[in-house]
Amino acid sequence: MKSMLQNCFSVASAEVCQVDPDFVDFVELAMYLADGRSDEAERLATKFHIDSDKLWKYISVNRLKNLFATAPDIAALLPEPVPERLKRHLEQQRVTQQQYISELTTLAGALESAKIPVLALKGPSLGQRLFGDPIRRFFCDLDALVDRSQLQEAIAVLEAMGYVLAGGRRHVSSHRLRTNHAVELRRRPIRIDLHWHLRNVPFYRVDMSKVWSERTTIQLDGKPVCVTSDEHTLLLLSLAVVDDLSRGKLRIKHMLDLYLIVRTLEPDWNWKEFFVARACDNTLSVCLNTMAVLEGISPPGSLPSALLDEMQAREALIVTRDPAECRQLLIQTRKSFLSWLWIWQVYPSASWRDLADLWKLQFPHVGSAPRALWRCALRSWQTMRFLANYQRLASLWRARRSDPRYGNEFGRSQPT
């Protein structure tokens, strides 16, 4: 079954349109900027011949305005009017993001005063840890984690500060606690996602007690803020990337977060221990394949050799490490058949989980109750539509099998 899915994935990847070379250069430029490699970024930006509207779309859709705006020397090399737009955007963001940072430290202090421990997730805390300055990473909401047993108390504290639960809810039902991982609260213009789990999926078995016991503290706006450890931040980012990719919402910003945390880990960081822990909480396949996509889009030699060695030892679980296929995954949109083939192999129990949701009526929450039924119907339709055009599929299959670049195992390059 796995071999057949890999074959279909290779055929589907060869069938879709090729990635624009300008997009490939843009991703490489963004990685150099995020990593502080100004010489390489300047060299690439100098020979960057791309239409200004097209470039602005790349920057906006992937939420990288802050990153480019905080590098004025590189922004000045981009075609007009992109530099001027970035300058205006940065002026607005300095005011807006400072407001968010002040609010985060305020609500963290309020929760701690109420004897409710809280961890800051992503947002400005991640910008501070990975970029050295929160303004370099765009964020439009705040994410905070509290213990599930204290969730209702935390909501009461936030409601006393003027926040209200989204959707007109008055409380979080026990069913939502079992099937989701966060709830949204709003107080204009601030939006907070209050988490009680990193990702509350039946397939995962994340030990939340370990998340709390291994938390660490950073300085944000001159005040101490508790955050998750490097291991659990890496886990959270990997799970978020897979979730976004499955919904057609993956942005380069999310891949940069993953790229930077891998690059900033200590050289002797124990990757073997990390993957052993992921096997215990059933997220090994997800993390391995996320790292494989990251490897496929990163400049050569960017990732630690220890990580690549551990990935090679678990090659059987990886769907693809081919750069062209990894870049194809980045640009897939909602309802993409290629993304579905990838997710099905990365997360093999997803379809069965949807059927179990239907059988047990374990829908996520009111408003998205048809999700499980829609997924099942959509996947069945996509499969039928793809396999119905058998002649095209067979011709592609024969062409790739006869290609001398491929060996006996379909879709795998022979070593040179």
pLDDT at 359: 46
Identify whether 403 is part of a domain: no
Identify whether 169 is part of a domain: yes
Distance CA 25, CA 45 (A): 9
Identify whether 148 is part of a domain: yes
Domain count, the chain: 1
pLDDT at 329: 87
Which residues, 6+ apart, have CB-to-CB distance to 73 below 8 Å? 38, 42
Q: Which of 91, 102, 28 is nearest to 65 (CA)?
A: 91
Distance CA 68, CA 73 (A): 9
Preceding amide of 81 cis, omega within 30: yes
Identify whether 144 is part of a domain: yes
How would DSSP label each residue in 98-119? HHHHHHHHHHHHHHHHTT---E
Identify whether 84 is part of a domain: no
Residues of the chain with pLDDT under 70: 1-5, 15-17, 202, 348-416
How would DSSP label each residue in 258-278? HHHHHHHS-TT--HHHHHHHH
Identify whether 245 is part of a domain: no
Sign of the four-CA dihedral 399, 404, 408, 411: negative
The tally of CA atoms less than 13 A away on the side-chain side of residue 38 is 7
Which residues, 6+ apart, have CB-to-CB distance to 190 below 8 Å? 99, 100, 103, 141, 142, 163
The pTM assigned to this predicted structure is 0.81
Q: Which of 256, 329, 327, 335 is nearest to 59 (CA)?
A: 256
pLDDT at 388: 60
Q: Supply the CATH number for residue 139's domain.
A: 3.30.460.40
Residues spanned by the domain of 171: 111-227
Identify whether 45 is part of a domain: no
Identify whether 137 is part of a domain: yes
pLDDT at 195: 94
